[in-house]
Amino acid sequence: MSHELTTGPLWTGDYYNEGSGKEGLDKLKEECGVFGVFRHPDAASLSYYGLHALQHRGEESAGMCVSDGSQFNYHRGMGLVKEVFTKDLMQTLTGDISIGHVRYSTSGDSKLTNAQPLVFKYRDGDLAVATNGNIVNAPTIRRELEQSGSIFQTTSDTEVIAHLIARSSKGLVEAAKEAFQRIVGGYAFLIMTNDKLLVASDPHGLRPLTMGKLGDAYLFASETCALETIGAELIRDIEPGELLVLDADGLHEDRFDHHKHRKALCAMEYIYFARPDSDMNGTNQHAARKRMGSRMAIESFVDADLVTGVPDSSISAAIGYAEQTGIPYEMGMIKNKYTGRTFIQPSQELREQGVKMKLSAVRRVVEGKRVVMIDDSIVRGTTSRRIVNMLRDAGATEVHVRITSPPFKNPCFYGIDTPDSRELIASQLSVEEICREINADSLEFLSPDGLIASIQGDNQDDPKGGLCLACFDHDYPTRLDFGGEEKFGCSC
Ligand code: SF4
């Protein structure tokens, strides 16, 4: 028996700015952030502050769905959390269970219809779904569902899980287990009905998801910084393959996957994505990045007058490099924090004339100096070349680039928006060639062993340290062969 889903008008407002980061910079894009609340009378306000703390994971849209036990109150919109949720609107989001989402979209796909949570009507009431990650075999499942009559409302893969649940003849929890057993990928899911919350992490734990408590209420967040923001106590990370069910009887710890897979939390969370004040697997991000910088100094020391880090994500590593070498850390670059969302971006011509909206070199600091520039990754190489040239234009006599990750050679299938390998400079050129391409005096990357040791310390039980390193070593933790229909990037 099939149970079709229906969607109503799920959002209001039409505000949309093209996000920054699209004016030719080639950083990897953060994926999405999720935040869930179970049984707190002010679920919407907690979600607002939680999502605000997760804003760095997605700036294009934000959404929240709250249940008062009998009906959903929800809103989604394009823009930042503070733009999407006005004071008046927040007063309409009453209830004590909620799921929320912030999102970056993949290119060409920044549509409001894909903003989350997605909300559906199904046979047992209302269903809302929010996810962070990517379902690799979504195209295959979607085609099968469409051939058997399902009508999709969005291009988001998140809808696949809703259809799988809706078409099952089993109850919600068993239907969700079946659905998770069917999908392959890296994901953290929050699924809400009028009186239940389901929380799941993929069998390898690729995407981060953590649980906290505030009084008797349970909280779930992509990063611990969101729990910290609202004063919640951190309980633990959600385990790979785990399915938590929260209902009137409280928390039930269950699993949808009983096989033993290797744990593979995304290494890029530690290198770049997560906020420095977040902890994952018990490791603080700032501390891990400092160790990466320190290890980088041991692996590839270069004599220089100062160390500087590309703000903001590489500052911790630059401090680590400086501490290890004794070369002073200086603020050689400044990031303009107010370029986040703007209607006006400089034209190519103005950019070539030197209009810099995001990043500036501090001439008085770098002029006449030999500079070690720490960055977290090189994707296409265009940003690195621009930054090196910017430091040279400001008077740096030498620029030595140190990257606190191994060469990024392979696309991500688990929720990070990456170009395909032909556009990844490290898959096309040698380190020496990249060095010339970005106009640096020297270039070195952190070794895989150095990266693992920096994140996991002395825990050498697993040679990969419980991490996914596939974009560096091509060892993808899941199968990817779905008849050429597999999908990479981000589907949240
Ligand atoms: S392939 Fe790279 S970016 Fe993707 S989950 Fe693995 S480590 Fe993270």
What domains sit in the chain, N to C, each tagged with a CATH number? 31-261 (3.60.20.10), 283-472 (3.40.50.2020)
C-alpha span between 47 and 64 (Å, rounded): 8
Atom of ligand 1 nearest to the CA of 418: 3
Mean pLDDT of 220-247: 98
Atom of ligand 1 nearest to the CA of 413: 4
Please check if 468 is assigned to a binding site: yes
Angle between helices 285-299 and 448-456 (to 10 degrees): 140
Q: Exposed (0-12), middle (13-18) or buried (19+): which is 481, by Cβ within 10 Å?
A: exposed
Mutate which of 266, 418, 480 for ligand 1 pocket (most atoms within 8 A of beta carbon): 266
Residue type, 158: T
Does the Cβ of 455 fall within 6 Å of ligand 1? no
Does the Cβ of 186 fall within 6 Å of ligand 1? yes
Please check if 475 is assigned to a binding site: no
Mean pLDDT of 32-45: 97
**475 CA from centroid of ligand 1 (Å):** 10
Does the Cβ of 267 fall within 6 Å of ligand 1? yes
Distances (CA, A) of 475 to 45, 50, 61, 335: 41, 34, 32, 35
Query: Residues with catalytic annotation?
Result: 32
**464 CA from centroid of ligand 1 (Å):** 13
Mutate which of 209, 379, 412 for ligand 1 pocket (most atoms within 8 A of beta carbon): 412
Calculate the average pLDDT of the chain.
88
**195 CA from centroid of ligand 1 (Å):** 34
The token duo for 52 is 């605000």
Going by CA atoms, what residue is nearest to atom 2 of ligand 1?
471
C-alpha span between 285 and 281 (Å, rounded): 10
Question: How does pLDDT run across 422-455, given as a tens digit for each residue?
Answer: 889 999 999 999 999 999 999 999 999 999 999 9
pLDDT at position 26: 60
Going by CA atoms, what residue is nearest to atom 8 of ligand 1?
266
C-alpha span between 347 and 368 (Å, rounded): 31
Residue type, 330: E
In the block, which residue shows the tokens 């394009």? 78
**411 CA from centroid of ligand 1 (Å):** 8
Mean pLDDT of 371-382: 95
User: Which stretch of 106-115, 136-145, 367-376 has the lowest confidence by average pLDDT?
Assistant: 106-115
pLDDT at position 488: 61
The token duo for 186 is 């890296």
Atom of ligand 1 nearest to the CA of 266: 8
Task: Report if pTM > 0.85.
Answer: yes
Whether 340 shows a pLDDT value over 70: the answer reads no
Confidence category of residue 12, pLDDT binned at 50, 70, 90 = very low
**90 CA from centroid of ligand 1 (Å):** 35
Whether 349 shows a pLDDT value over 70: the answer reads no
Does the Cβ of 443 fall within 6 Å of ligand 1? no
CA atoms within 13 A on the CB side of 445: 19
CA 213 to chain centre: 23
User: CA gyration radius for the chain?
Assistant: 23
Confidence category of residue 483, pLDDT binned at 50, 70, 90 = low
pLDDT at position 18: 26
Atom of ligand 1 nearest to the CA of 267: 7
Whether 312 shows a pLDDT value over 90: the answer reads no
Going by CA atoms, what residue is nearest to atom 5 of ligand 1?
266
Going by CA atoms, what residue is nearest to atom 4 of ligand 1?
412
Mean pLDDT of 105-121: 74
Does the Cβ of 266 fall within 6 Å of ligand 1? yes
Does the Cβ of 268 fall within 6 Å of ligand 1? yes
C-alpha span between 455 and 379 (Å, rounded): 21
Which residue has better confidence, 114 or 64? 64
Does the Cβ of 452 fall within 6 Å of ligand 1? no
The answer to whether the beta carbons of residues 262 and 205 sit under 8 Å apart is no
**275 CA from centroid of ligand 1 (Å):** 17
Please check if 124 is assigned to a binding site: no
CB count in 10 Å sphere of residue 345: 16
Whether 50 shows a pLDDT value over 90: the answer reads yes
Q: What are phi and psi of 359, to 5 degrees?
A: -135, 135
Does the Cβ of 264 fall within 6 Å of ligand 1? no
* 374-384 burial code (b ≥16 CB/10 A, e <16): bbbbbbbbebb
**471 CA from centroid of ligand 1 (Å):** 5
Q: Is the dihedral of CA 231, 236, 240, 246 positive or negative?
A: negative
Taking alpha carbons only, the member of 32, 131, 11 closest to residue 75 is: 11
Does the Cβ of 271 fall within 6 Å of ligand 1? no
Taking alpha carbons only, the member of 118, 112, 114 closest to residue 15 is: 112
Does the Cβ of 468 fall within 6 Å of ligand 1? yes
- The H or E element containing residue 187 is strand 185-192
C-alpha span between 150 and 142 (Å, rounded): 9
